[in-house]
A = this chain, B = another copy of it.
Amino acid sequence: LDRDAMRQARERHDQLVKPRGSLGQLEDLAEQLAGLARTSPPPIPERAAVVIFAGDHGVHRHGVSPWPQEITAAMVGTFLNGRAVINAIAKQTGATVRVVDVGVATDLPDHPRLRKERVRPGTDDLATAPAMTRAEAVQAVEVGIRTASELVAAGHSCLLTGDMGIANTTPAAALVAAFTGASPEDATGRGTGIDDPTWTTKVAVVRQALDLHRLDLADPLGVLAALGGLEHAATVGYLLGAAALRTPVILDGVAAAAAAIVAAALAPDATGAFIAGHLSQEPAAQLALDKLALRPLLDLRMRLGEGTGASLALPIVQSAARVLHEVATLDELANPTP
């Protein structure tokens, strides 16, 4: 983040027709956008896209989710038909929805709004083997980087994360436990709303995975390959791509938080581009955001994923930038020009 631009944004905030600091987190956000854009006021991120990376998970066979794996493919169809929750919210807040198949187990029919970038048809079972090879993890990360680059090249000035993958809160919990040192119990949540026996199984699977793999936190890609999902890996690349292009990226829920912690391990400066859209109900989300020192914009007790929380936060991000552009200064108030 550019310190000069951040300072200029802060100074401008202090000159506007409002008490100092009275916009709270909105001021912090505008200063971040200025630092990222290296200019104050920063451009208003008008054109926004939410990308839903979809993948399946070998760990599903342990019964960590009550939903059948085929729901992943079915929900991709629902996104493409415009009938999922993310479509309604993105329509309301003005974001475009894109779907990228980075690892769905089921073969998907072609669709003009679906990008097929499948690295493999679902991961392996992280409790008994690496979820994917290092080469596959790299390939998925590259899908994410390319997706971000193409969207920015097409004129998008704000990127939002989204995810779809039945059972994908299990690898997210494992990744967050690995990088934060949290216990499997503390990092593992109720996902779609599982019962106590399923949660106990899920915790055991996370513990087994953490015990099985010789995790080296100095090798984030290795940890990602061992524990992650293909959508987490693609999101890591998407975040890094956005950050490299100095484009703000709004994190959705726990999948994004887990990817963000991997991305930060690979490139600590990348976090300057990250905005926590909301606080997912999954405990790993809070753990990851705390580690990244990100304060979420919303806390509506949501736990859906798809990019829904990030999309609800978009108008807040846009408003933060708009204030720096359009609001008068106290000097102008004292000396009005017609």
Q: CB within 8 Å of B: which residues of A?
A: 16-26, 67, 74-75, 77-78, 81-85, 87-89, 91-93, 191-193, 281, 297-304, 308, 312, 315-316, 318-319, 322-323, 325-328, 332-333, 336
Distance A82 CA – B92 CA, assembled complex (angstroms): 24
Is the Cβ of A17 less than 8 Å from the Cβ of B83? Answer: yes
Q: Which residue of B83, B192, B323 contacts A19 across the interface (Cβ within 8 Å)?
A: B192
Is the Cβ of B312 less than 8 Å from the Cβ of A18? Answer: no
With most chain B CB atoms within 10 A of its CB, the pick from A67, A85, A93, A193 is: A85
Q: Kindly report which residue of chain B lies nearest to residue A306, judged by CB atoms.
A: B18
Is the Cβ of B93 less than 8 Å from the Cβ of A319? Answer: yes
Quote the shortest CB–CB distance from A277 to chain B (angstroms).
Answer: 12
Contacts A17-B78, A300-B316 given; indicate if A327 touches B83 (C-beta within 8 A).
Answer: yes
Distance A320 CA – B323 CA, assembled complex (angstroms): 26
List 4 A-B pairs, minimum CB-CB distance, nearest first: A24-B301, A19-B192, A83-B328, A25-B300
Quote the shortest CB–CB distance from A165 to chain B (angstroms).
Answer: 14
Contacts A78-B17, A300-B316 given; indicate if A327 touches B23 (C-beta within 8 A).
Answer: no
Quote the shortest CB–CB distance from A32 to chain B (angstroms).
Answer: 14
Quote the shortest CB–CB distance from A315 to chain B (angstroms).
Answer: 5
Is the Cβ of A193 less than 8 Å from the Cβ of B20? Answer: yes
Is the Cβ of B304 less than 8 Å from the Cβ of A85? Answer: no
- Please, which residues of chain B bring their CB within 8 A of the CB of A193? 19-22
- Please, which residues of chain B bring their CB within 8 A of the CB of A325? 88
Quote the shortest CB–CB distance from A46 to chain B (angstroms).
Answer: 10
- Please, which residues of chain B bring their CB within 8 A of the CB of A304? 18-19, 22-23
Is the Cβ of A78 less than 8 Å from the Cβ of B333? Answer: yes
Q: Offer 12 A-B interface pairs, CB within 8 angstroms, sorted by A.
A: A16-B85, A19-B67, A19-B191, A19-B303, A20-B193, A23-B85, A77-B336, A83-B327, A83-B332, A84-B327, A89-B323, A92-B318
| Further pairs besides A24-B302, A88-B327, A298-B298: 18, Cβ < 8 Å | A17-B75, A17-B78, A18-B85, A20-B193, A21-B193, A22-B302, A23-B300, A26-B300, A74-B333, A82-B326, A83-B326, A83-B327, A83-B332, A84-B327, A85-B327, A91-B322, A312-B315, A312-B316
Is the Cβ of A326 less than 8 Å from the Cβ of B23? Answer: no
Distance A328 CA – B327 CA, assembled complex (angstroms): 41
Quote the shortest CB–CB distance from A253 to chain B (angstroms).
Answer: 10
